[in-house]
Structure 1
Amino acid sequence: MAAASQLTSGASLLHNNLASSSTGYVASIHNSLNAGQGKLLLHALASGQSKDGPEVVQATSIRYLETLHGPVLVVTSTNGTQVYTEDASALIFFLPLSDQAGPDSIRYHQAACFVPTTQHMVIGTSKGTIWPVSAVAAGQYVQLHESAPSSPTAEVSDLCFSPIADAVVSVHNNGDLRLWQVSEDAPYTNSDVVANLCQAPVRVVSLGAQLAVADGPGSIFILDATTRELKAEVTAHGRWLSAAVSREDIGLLVTVGEDTVLNVWQVDPSEGIVSLHHSTVVADKLLCGVALHGSGASVVAYDSDQLYHVNF
């Protein structure tokens, strides 16, 4: 068993349900069916202190984005997107849903990434669209144009910015991968599609000249970021792969799954060759979130208030 700290409540069963900032905060989501009981869970790694964050209503993803004016906490939900200060003590910006759900569907936002070249925050939606938001300075957030995919697709599952491709990359619940050309103020253009790449993508991350896609059934797909050629497919977990996070500067990809295991993968930044760097059983629980920090990683598990710490 890994060493652990205690959060103020249990983590919900969401993909990628843990995020870390560059200065040592981690955050997770506790959803609840009872009004007023859903909340953010905050933990300061340096002090070891945990606290409740703001209330949330059916949150769908959590992410720290490293903007040019410092880290911000981005929470997407069935209400839209809330952007908080790093410690979640203040709400900076709110992006509402662009339309109402029909009788047989639920509208929501899902996932976020930051484009440093334009200082845009980009949000995914359940319509398969993306929303760029200008974030040129603290407190100066401006909603830009919703950008539509080039062909019908499913909900956005995750997205990232690829510096090599100078594009936002999204993965969708039907297994599509899409490339979006960045624009200063006009809608982003969906310039390329890799249809049916995988079954149920959980995360997409940039790794140098490569893109890594973590697929729910347990595989990792490595693609050339420029050509989108498939370079490698790795069987990573014996049960559902629930979360992934990367260190692009050193080519590390860390995954956790419902098989109780944390795996650390080394990905060659130019060739895309993958090797297993470290593997450990974290706890006898369904792992649902992983975040990196200086000495290793922190992990959360479904319905557990423990924040596990793993060194590697």
Structure 2
Amino acid sequence: MARITMYHKEKSLQIKNSASALYNNLGVLRIAPKQLTYFTVVHANVVNMVSASWDGLNYSHRQLQSKEPNVATSTSLIMQAAFCALPSRDLLVVTSQKGIQIYESDGSIMVYWHALETPETPTETAVFARGISAVWENYICVGVSSGAILVFDIPSKGSNITLSEVLEEHNESITDMAPECSGSQECIANLVTADDGGNLCLWKSGEEFQVLNKIPGFDMSCSSVKLWKGTVVAGYGSGQIRLYEAVTGILHAEVNAHARWIYSLDIAPFSGLLLSAAEDSLVRVWHLSMTPETNTVEVAHLHNECVTDTQICGAKFCDGDGYAFAVTGYDLSEIIRYVQP
């Protein structure tokens, strides 16, 4: 593949607070009919939300607090905010130490609240929810610190959301999860989940979710995971990226991508571009290509951006082709954007 045109830095988006040092701490949702992009960044117990017009002329800000029943102001730390795009609607899911909030995508209305079960007596282990994914066609899955995965059945409109299933295959805290993003209905597995021990589970969704495969970890946390064309792309605390065949668990490739902990991965499904971002201040763009004859995946390194003196904690493509991406960093009160000219 020819080297892509280098990205260049665009005007940053200012946010009200800096980004907390959390994995995958950036949410991006394109609203094509309105020519808007929504961004979310978590800071302590607040989600900072920015709506930006594509022409760069209009910006609006909103802040969402972590909610608790019967409490006026919550100090509960938010663990993640992520957009979930389902065929019938887009929603924003916010997870914290107390529970799971589901909002309309613009953050205007909270449509659902699910409280986490907290132990009667204080324990040494923290309770929280983390790891959020929409799953074809009407489910949103959310991981919790016990290793369980909560499956919510989402109606096409309204707030009649139900907890339809609890999946218990992981024994360690869920770190991240992702749906099959290529849009291919031929892929058997359509959800991958990861935990603190680096263990991966592959699932087929439905009225009852089936676990198709378990890929054991190697005593290194898997902080970010993606699923594309039947290939699992997993980023680890070691700075490595590993590519597995989803259904067999065969290791296709191992890349020593970063010198420090990987905080975020993203895939542009239409182009096969892969974004990796880590504590080492580097954001890297790779290209994934499938070789159908041998059923293997090749990885080519295309581009580097160094965000000097910044511990990067979120990186996401802003479109399905990977023409632009955005980055957040710990203690940084801005979202840095890069575009291809």
| TM-score, normalised relative to structure 1 | 0.90
- Is 1:65 aligned to 2:84, yes or no? yes
Structure 2: runs of 5 or more not aligned: 1-7, 32-36, 67-75
1:35 is aligned to none
Q: Quick one: which amino acid aligns to residue 161 of structure 1? A: P
Q: Please give the alpha-carbon distance, in whole angstroms, between the structure 1 residues aligned to 2:290 and 2:179.
A: 16
Q: Deviations over 1:215-250 (max 9, x none)?
A: 122110001122111000001112221111111222
Identity of paired residues, percent? 21
The structure having more radius of gyration, on CA atoms, is 2
2:287 is aligned to 266
Q: Quick one: which amino acid aligns to residue 110 of structure 2? A: L
- Is 1:288 aligned to 2:313, yes or no? yes
Q: Please give the alpha-carbon distance, in whole angstroms, between the structure 1 residues aligned to 2:244 and 2:85.
A: 25
1:194 is aligned to 215
- Is 1:17 aligned to 2:25, yes or no? yes
| TM-score, normalised relative to structure 2 | 0.83
5 Å-filtered alignment, 1:242-261, equals: 242-261=263-282
Q: Which of 99, 102, 107 is the equivalent residue of 2:127?
A: 107
SS in 2 for 1:279: strand
Q: Deviations over 1:76-101 (max 9, x none)?
A: 11111111111211111112214537
Instruction: Kindly state the Cα deviation for residue 177 of structure 1 after the two structures are TM-superposed.
Output: 0.9
Instruction: Kindly state the Cα deviation for residue 22 of structure 1 after the two structures are TM-superposed.
Output: 2.4
Q: Please give the alpha-carbon distance, in whole angstroms, between the structure 2 residues aligned to 1:144 and 1:192.
A: 22
**Corresponding residue pairs, total:** 301
- Is 1:120 aligned to 2:148, yes or no? no
Q: Please give the alpha-carbon distance, in whole angstroms, between the structure 1 residues aligned to 2:147 and 2:26.
A: 23
2:241 is aligned to 220
Preserved CA contact (<8 Å) 2:189 2:230? no
Q: Please give the alpha-carbon distance, in whole angstroms, between the structure 2 residues aligned to 1:207 and 1:147.
A: 22
Q: Quick one: which amino acid aligns to residue 62 of structure 2? A: D
5 Å-filtered alignment, 1:32-47, equals: 38-46=45-53, 47=57
- Is 1:302 aligned to 2:330, yes or no? yes
Instruction: Kindly state the Cα deviation for residue 300 of structure 1 after the two structures are TM-superposed.
Output: 0.9
Instruction: Kindly state the Cα deviation for residue 206 of structure 1 after the two structures are TM-superposed.
Output: 1.1
Instruction: Kindly state the Cα deviation for residue 288 of structure 1 after the two structures are TM-superposed.
Output: 0.7
Instruction: Kindly state the Cα deviation for residue 50 of structure 1 after the two structures are TM-superposed.
Output: 4.5
Q: Which of 163, 171, 174 is the equivalent residue of 1:143?
A: 163
Q: Please give the alpha-carbon distance, in whole angstroms, between the structure 1 residues aligned to 2:38 and 2:219.
A: 32
Preserved CA contact (<8 Å) 2:62 2:107? no
Instruction: Kindly state the Cα deviation for residue 112 of structure 1 after the two structures are TM-superposed.
Output: 1.1
Instruction: Kindly state the Cα deviation for residue 283 of structure 1 after the two structures are TM-superposed.
Output: 3.5
Relative to structure 1, the CA distance from residue 198 to residue 204 in structure 2 (aligned partners, 3 Å threshold; closer, same or farther) is farther
2:72 is aligned to none
Q: Quick one: which amino acid aligns to residue 29 of structure 2? A: S
